[in-house]
Amino acid sequence: MKTNMFHRETYRSSNKNIDKHIDNKEQVKGNNIFAEYTPSYPNLYVVYSYGYHFPMYVYDEDSNMWFANSDRYSVSTSKHQSQARPSQPIDMFLNTDQLMTILRLGSYMEWSIQKAQSDNVETYRQGV
């Protein structure tokens, strides 16, 4: 079944087998877990638990990196994190706010630039 503007197939899966779809970066829906490419930035593949408020994993095709959410939300979300964990190595653990900023900005590179600029401003303020 075709479900979005990118005409990628969305698969249904049990949570037990959802990691195989995630490894292939396929759009998939499980039981309160879903993964998809972002509509605004098709280079970002995101795995969510329960809704868009908690990205568990983000893959940035431009940097070829996996990011994992370091925050804990609930026992069931922790189980989702285990079930949906990609088999590829996680490159970086970030908190929910940091992952949401990557999703808002469209890439890890843009997030890194913004963070570096912010860090430079803070360093300058502390030095004055």
Residue type, 54: F
Q: Give the pLDDT confidence score for residue 7 in this predicted structure.
A: 53
pLDDT at 76 over 60: yes
pTM for the model stands at: 0.85
Neighbours of 96 (CB within 10 A): 15
pLDDT at 2: 35
Q: Is the pLDDT of residue 1 over 90?
A: no
Is residue 127's pLDDT more than 90?
Answer: no
The model's pLDDT over 100-116, given as tens digits with 9 standing for 90+, comes to 999 999 999 999 999 99
Structure tokens that stand for 57 in this block: 């994993």
| pLDDT value of position 11 | 95
In whole angstroms, how far apart are CA 122 and each of 4, 63, 87, 127?
A: 41, 26, 37, 9
Angle between helix 96-105 and helix 108-127 axes, rounded to 10 deg: 110
Q: What per-residue confidence (pLDDT) applies to 124?
A: 65
Least confident stretch, 44-53, 58-67, 71-80, 89-98: 71-80
- Exposure string over 33-48, b if 16+ CB within 10 A, otherwise e: bbbbbbeebeebbbbb
Please list the residues that pair with 27 across neighbouring strands.
10
For residue 77, pLDDT over 80 is answered with yes
Q: What are phi and psi of 61, to 5 degrees?
A: -65, -35
The yes-or-no verdict on residue 3 having pLDDT over 60 is no
Say which residues have a Cβ less than 8 Å from residue 94's Cβ, sequence separation at least 6. Answer: 67, 68, 69, 70, 102
* Mean pLDDT value across the chain: 90
Q: Would you list the domain boundaries of the chain? A: 10-127
Residue at 107: amino acid letter = S
Position 82 pLDDT exceeds 70: yes
